[in-house]
Amino acid sequence: MKGAVIGTSTVLVMAVIATVCVVSFKGRAHGGEGEGQILTSVKSIKSFCQPMDYRETCESALEATAGKATSPTDLAKAIFKAASDRIEQAVRESAVLNNLKNDPRMSGMLDNCKELLDYAIDDLKTTFDRLGGFEMTNFKTAVDDLRTWLSFALTYQETCLNGFENTTMTDAANKMSKVLNSSQELTENIHAIMDEFSEMLANLDLPSFGHRLLTDNSVPSWMPNAKRRLLQAVSPGSPDFKPDMTVVADGSGDFKTINEVLAKVPPKSAAMYMMYVKADTYKEYVSMPRNLTNLVMVGDGATKMVITGSKSFMMNITTKDTVTMEVIGNGFLMRGVGVENTAGAKNHQAMALRVQSDMSAFYECQFDGYQDTLYTHTSRQYYRDCVITGTIDFIFGNAQVVL
C-alpha cells in the first residue's frame, strides 16, 4: 500500500477493529490464562487470524508482510496491505497474459481485469484511509461506508474471474484464479472484521447507529439534500435550472456531443457540475470516468433525448465492452435521459447502461435493450420513475439498488 498517513483517530479505530479479532479469539480459546498472551510475532499472527473464515490465508499473508509486528493495530494495517499486494500481483499477471494473446475478446477480457482490479485496489485504499476520518457521532454512516467499499473490492475481483467462464482460456483463468483466490479471501476476512465491528458498536447503542436506509419520502438517506432538491424539483424551464454546459446536436449549444462536454468537465469535483442535453438522438458511446465526480446530466425527456448504440457480444468483444453508456465516477445524477442498445435479441449480450458510481441516482429515465440491458455493477444506486425494458437478465449486478 502506498504510504498512507495514519492520524491519531485512525490508529484508535484500527485498534478497536483489531480488538474485535483478539476478543473474538479469546472468546473461542480454551486453556490456561497465558495462552492468549502475545509473546512473539508468530503467536500474535495466529491469535489475530484465529477468528477469521480464512485463517490459513491470513496467517501466510501476514507472515510475509507484517515483519516483526506483534500489536493488533499493526496487524490490522498489514492485512489491508496484504490484500492490496495480492490484487496488484493479479494486475501484473493480467498484463503478462495479455501480451501472449491475439484473440480480441480474450485481450479485452484481460484489459477489463486490469481495470477492475485497479478499482479494487482503490477501494481497499479508500477503506483504509477513511478509517480515521469520522467521529463517534457519525459512526453508523461511516461503518456502512467502510463495509460498502469492501464489498466493491470483492465484486471487482469476482467480475474479473467471471469473465473467463465458458471460454477456452483455461490456462489464463487458472493463473488469475490462483492469484485472486488469496486476495478475495483476505478481503472477505477484512469484511468479516468490519461486520463484527459494526455489531459491537450497535450493541453500544451509539447515537445514529440504527438501520434506517430510506428517508420519509423514500429517498436513500445517503443522498445529499442538494441532490434531492435537484432530483425532485429542478428541470428544464424551471427558474432554478442553470446548467454549466448545454449540448445541442445541431451545434447551437456549447457542444454538439456529450463526449465533448466530458473532456471539459473539471475532474474530482466536490461541487455538482450540470450538463443539459437537448432533445435529439445521440449516436455515441459514453463513459463517465472515475475522476469525474458529482456530474449531473439532464435531458429533455427519456423518449426525446436518447443515447444510442448497437455493440454486442457477437462482435467478438466482452459483455462489458458492449455498453452504450457507463457511469463510473461517484455521485452521478441523471434525469430525463434515454439510453438504448439496439443490437437485437439474436446478438445475445448487449448492455445499454452499466453503473458503478457510488451514491448515484436516476430519475424519469428509460433504458432499452434485450439481453443484459441494465448492469447495476457495484455501489449504492437509486432509480425512481424509470422504465427498463429487456428480455433475458435485463437487470443484473451486485449493487445496493433502490428501484
Catalytic annotation, residues: 393
Residue type, 176: M
CA 147/CA 155 separation, integer angstroms: 12
The answer to whether 231 touches 363, Cβ cutoff 8 Å, is yes
206, three cell numbers: 451509539
The DSSP letter of residue 98 is H
**Residue 237, C-beta contacts closer than 8 angstroms, at least 6 positions apart:** none
Q: For 397-401, which contacts have Cβ atoms below 8 Å and span 24 or more sequence positions?
A: 397/355, 398/151, 398/155, 398/158, 399/355, 399/356, 400/148, 401/376
19, three cell numbers: 480488538
CA 231/CA 327 separation, integer angstroms: 17
Show the CA angle centred on residue 372, arms to residues 369 and 377, nearest 5°: 125
What are the DSSP E strand ranges found in 176-303? 245-247, 273-277, 280-282, 286-288, 295-299
Residue 355 pairs with which residues in a beta bridge?
A: 327, 376
- Rg of the chain (C-alpha set): 23
Residue with cell 465458458: 166
| Secondary structure (DSSP) of 153-167 | HHHHHHHHHHTTTTS
18, three cell numbers: 483489531
Residue 144: phi and psi, rounded to 5, are -60, -40
Residue with cell 457521532: 137
